[in-house]
A = this chain, B = another copy of it.
Amino acid sequence: MTVKQLAANAKAAAIKLAAKKEADKNKALAAIAKTLQENSDAIISANQKDLEKAELDNLDKPLLKRLKFDQSKIDTVCSGIESLIKLEEPVGKTLCATELDNGLELYKVSCPLGVVGVIFESRPDALVQISTLCLKSGNSALLKGGSEAMNTNRILAKLISEASIEVGIPDGWINLLETRDDVSAMLDLDEYIDLIVPRGSNEFVQYIMKNTNIAVMGHADGICHVYIDDQADLGMALDIAVDSKCQYPAVCNAAETLLINRAIAPDFLPALKAALETQNCELRGDSGVLEIINAKAASEKDWATEYLDYIVSVKLVDSMQEAIDHINKYGSGHTDAIVTANKDRARDFMTLVDSGDVFWNASTRFSDGFRYGLGAEVGISTNKIHARGPVGLEGLLIYKWKLIGNGHIVSDYSSGKKAFTHEKLKKDCTI
């Protein structure tokens, strides 16, 4: 089948899937967990093929580790499915209810988007997580995983499709794409696809964003900052700076640049340098920094670089405003933190920094769907529309307006025979 046909089928399936009840979707999720366990030998053996090919291709160790899908990974994804089953049903929630007039009631009710295209990295667990998130939220999925995981992804998609269809989920809701050409074809299918979620490298995400008219939810860069104010508790500032940079530097919510108020730099920088050295973290400073401590010099390029590594750039600023301006210029709108004891400054910083996540006296590393308690994370978005920051299931939902009347017509209102009441109602939509 062509990608266009797959997408058309996915759209037809999505219409039916949107009408599925909570119990039906949870039954399918349970069936998926069951089939994954029952077929664990076949999954592990398919994964073995992928691993062998990857070793022959000399893939590097971290990639091999992410590619591996053993019994413990199967247990983990199945326990993720159990959690998903327990999550509150996201579809059919009444978000707002208004009486327009006697007997004419308007409800804003959550519903699935329709068809979601997800392009993800080499971890096969991502396929299970994403497809089950789509199912829980009533969406059809077009999935493109890493080509290294082809055999594993094939058996996973087949098992998930078969188990769910057997308990009544419409055929065509889950589809595996396998080639780059498939992805290119998908980018043109705005007639069928409602949202694309790309996960992967900066360049890849930017490529997707530039080459489709379909809405894209995701983030390219994660250039996060910590600003250390002259009214900061310096012990706290040190802990937050080190945690933000070093707790796990390979991820988008790790800090790349520390902005330090010049007034406290002489006290703070030597302690910072010592702390970073214990983490083997390289420090690149601007001229002000280099006057106080020995370090490598930072260039203009450093302020715009996502190291994703044990490297941090450090700049002195004369004021909080200078820090805010730097962040809004070089940042990626992801996560930025201020350390200060001054509440008014914290408020201004959090208002004026134009990022999805703005933190006061906390590490940037908290910017994450699980830490936020969202229950599940679809991705992190630096978009300004639809969903921003860590995105849970609500990123896969929209709403529709349901108007329930009893023969109401507009000419009665334009003629003045009737008038709108526009009373807020405190009740849920029952149809």
Give 1 or 0 for each of A384-410: 1 = CB within 8 Å of chain B CB. Answer: 111011100000001111111111111
| Interchain Cβ contacts under 8 Å between A and B, 8 examples | A100-B372, A240-B407, A242-B409, A248-B414, A350-B402, A358-B401, A388-B400, A389-B400
Copies in the complex: 2
Q: Which of A413-431 contact B (CB under 8 A)?
A: 413-414, 420, 422, 431
Interface residue count on the A side (C-beta < 8 Å)? 77
A151 in contact (CB, < 8 A): no
Q: Which residue in B114, B343, B401 is a CB contact (below 8 Å) of A431?
A: B343
Contact status A401-B384, CB under 8 Å: no
Which residue among A15, A248, A385, A420 has the maximum number of chain B CB atoms within 10 Å of its CB?
Answer: A385
- Asked if A243 and B410 make an inter-chain contact with CB atoms under 8 angstroms apart, the answer reads yes
Query: Is A365's beta carbon under 8 Å from chain B?
Result: yes
Contact of A247 among B248, B414, B420 (CB under 8 A): B414
Binds B, one of A42-50, A209-217, A265-273: A209-217
Give 1 or 0 for each of A199-242: 1 = CB within 8 Å of chain B CB: 00000000001100101010000000000000001011001101
Minimum CB distance partner of A349 in chain B:
B431
Q: Is the C-beta of A153 less than 8 angstroms from some C-beta in chain B?
A: no
Name the B residues within 8 Å of A422 (CB-CB). Answer: 373
CB-contacts of A18-63 with B (<8 A): 18-19
Those 10 A-B pairs whose CB atoms lie nearest each other, nearest first: A362-B405, A373-B422, A243-B409, A236-B407, A365-B410, A194-B384, A347-B431, A386-B386, A385-B386, A359-B403
Q: Which of B15, B358, B361, B367 contacts A352, CB < 8 Å?
A: B15
- For A409, give the chain B residue with the smallest CB separation: B243
A379 on the B face (CB < 8 A): no
Given contacts A350-B400, A363-B409, could you give 15 more A-B pairs where the C-beta distance is less than 8 Å? A100-B372, A114-B354, A114-B384, A194-B385, A215-B215, A215-B386, A235-B407, A236-B406, A239-B407, A248-B410, A358-B400, A359-B405, A360-B403, A362-B407, A366-B403
A200 to B423, CA, bound (A): 32
Tell yes or no: A411 within 8 A of B by CB.
Answer: yes
Q: Are B431 and A360 in contact (CB under 8 A)?
A: yes
Partner of A409, one of B18, B114, B233, B247: B247
A363 in contact with B213 given A385-B194, A386-B385 (CB within 8 Å): no
Q: At the interface, yes or no: A129 with Cβ under 8 Å from chain B? A: no
Is A79 engaged at the interface, CB distance under 8 Å to the other chain?
A: no
Q: How far is the CA of A425 from the CA of B249 in the complex (A)?
A: 31
B361-A404 in contact (CB<8A): yes
Q: Which residue from chain B places its CB closest to the CB of A360 in the assembled complex?
A: B404
